[in-house]
Amino acid sequence: MSGRFGRSPAVCFLLGLPRSGTTLVAHLLQHHPDIVAPPEPWLMLALEAFGRVDQRHPAGSSLIEAATSEFLGRIDRTIPSRAFADAAYDQYLAQAGKRIILDKTPRYWMALEFLESVYPEAPHILLMRNPYAIAASLKSTWGIPLQAESSHPVSVSSLVDLMLRLPDGIITSLADLVLGLPKLAAQRTRPHTQFVQYEVLVAHPDEEIRRLLTGLGCDPAAVASAGMRQADYLRSSSFGDRKILERNAVDQSSVKAWQSQLSVEEMQTVTDLIGAELLLELGYEQELVHAQQAGVLDRGGEVTELYRQIFRTWWDLRSTKAGALSGLSDAGEPVHAMAAQLQQMPLASEVDRAAGLDGIRNRDAAIEMLRGEVARLERILNIH
């Protein structure tokens, strides 16, 4: 462990997109007597967002953020962040009587830089799964739409209105694929990172789990086999894949299920959002070929990059002050109506009022940028 932080608990981060199989990997690894894997801590995301609170806080959200940012700006904030995380992980380990804590939080792709700054020496396990299969699981498990009613890919049909009207959870699930997958893929070359593919794991669970345990410095002989065993710890949690509770063994039934679960239009959406280049880079050439044989087109890297830029703009948009004001109006209500409501709100201070209005102006500009980028994307697609 890093000397500048003193003694620290042994922490390993399991990284992977939602619906990629992270719950299964964590469940199999924690059969080892040295390892405990809480369902999903989300701890590092909370620490990274420290100081940002709900706009309804009576003390004034902008004042809280400004004050904590000013205070923490004069120190190395990674040190108190590390101290808090160490204390939390340490207590969890002590109560479990284990040596290593496996923090499995799928959306840590949103805070990879923060993760690296706070725990630069921590080992990572990076799980990848066929993106078509992830998309099929998003559709079947969470009801995430991959095509509009018109049967056009959802990423093309009225994308701006879709992003502004649908719940954040749905668009965030698509952003996991569009923005999260490339960021996670880039982590494969990070030192102290073990790479595992879901498809290989379910085909050879014993070998893969032993390999991962060896990489963590654990005796693989302490686990007889990578069986499912009990997952009662998930019953008392709101997080983690509930399907684990129904499984008696690791099997490969889900590997090719996407081929019957996704329509050609939905496969086209996934191919456009991910990009053929990244699919090949991650080793999913056969899956891409299957999609292309079904009628999917490779529209090129420019189209995928445009999609990524659209989602980045949406990401910046939802991160503005105005994004926190979305609860003031019904879905789809014009931004100028939100501004009118804001003018009447008894905000905690003029600072809050000014920050909120600035946020709305930023939101207006971001929406216009979104519309322009989608229009450019649609022109390109009409050429192909």
Given this model, what pLDDT does residue 380 score?
73
For 315, residues 6+ apart whose C-beta sits below 8 A from its C-beta are: 175, 179
Which domain covers residue 296, as residue numbers?
Answer: 3-383
* pLDDT tens for each residue of the chain, 384 residues long: 344 444 678 999 999 999 999 999 999 999 999 999 999 999 999 999 999 888 789 998 889 999 999 999 999 999 999 999 999 999 999 999 999 999 999 999 999 999 999 999 999 999 999 999 999 999 998 888 886 544 445 445 455 655 666 677 788 889 999 999 999 999 999 999 999 999 999 999 999 999 999 999 999 999 877 666 666 666 667 777 767 766 777 889 899 999 999 999 999 999 999 999 999 999 999 999 999 999 999 999 998 998 898 888 888 877 664 444 343 333 344 444 444 444 444 444 555 556 665 666 666 676 777 777 777 776 777 666
Please count the CA atoms within 13 angstroms of the CA of 337 that sit on its side-chain side: 9
Strands 124-128 and 10-15: parallel
Phi, psi (degrees; rounded to nearest 5) at 194: -100, 130
SS (H, E, C) 268-313: HHHHHHHCHHHHHHCCCHHHHHHHHHCCCCCCCHHHHHHHHHHHHH
Instruction: Output the domain CATH number for residue 9.
Output: 3.40.50.300
Phi, psi (degrees; rounded to nearest 5) at 248: -105, -15
Given this model, what pLDDT does residue 354 score?
61
Q: How far apart are the C-alpha atoms of 220 and 2, rounded to whole Å?
A: 26
Given this model, what pLDDT does residue 166 score?
66
At position 140, the amino acid (one-letter code) is S
Given this model, what pLDDT does residue 227 score?
64
Please count the CA atoms within 13 angstroms of the CA of 364 that sit on its side-chain side: 12
Please count the CA atoms within 13 angstroms of the CA of 369 that sit on its side-chain side: 17
The residue written with tokens 């805070």 in the block is 111
The number of distinct structural domains making up the chain is 1
Distance of CA 147 to the CA centre of its chain: 21
Given this model, what pLDDT does residue 62 score?
87
- 35: helix, strand or coil: strand
Question: What are the tokens at 140?
Answer: 């079947």
Q: How far apart are the C-alpha atoms of 70 and 164, rounded to whole Å?
A: 32
Cβ contact 37:31 at 8 Å = no
Q: What is the pTM of this model?
A: 0.81
- 76: helix, strand or coil: coil
Given this model, what pLDDT does residue 250 score?
86
At position 286, the amino acid (one-letter code) is Q
DSSP letter at 77 equals: T
Q: How far apart are the C-alpha atoms of 30 and 101, rounded to whole Å?
A: 9
Given this model, what pLDDT does residue 313 score?
83
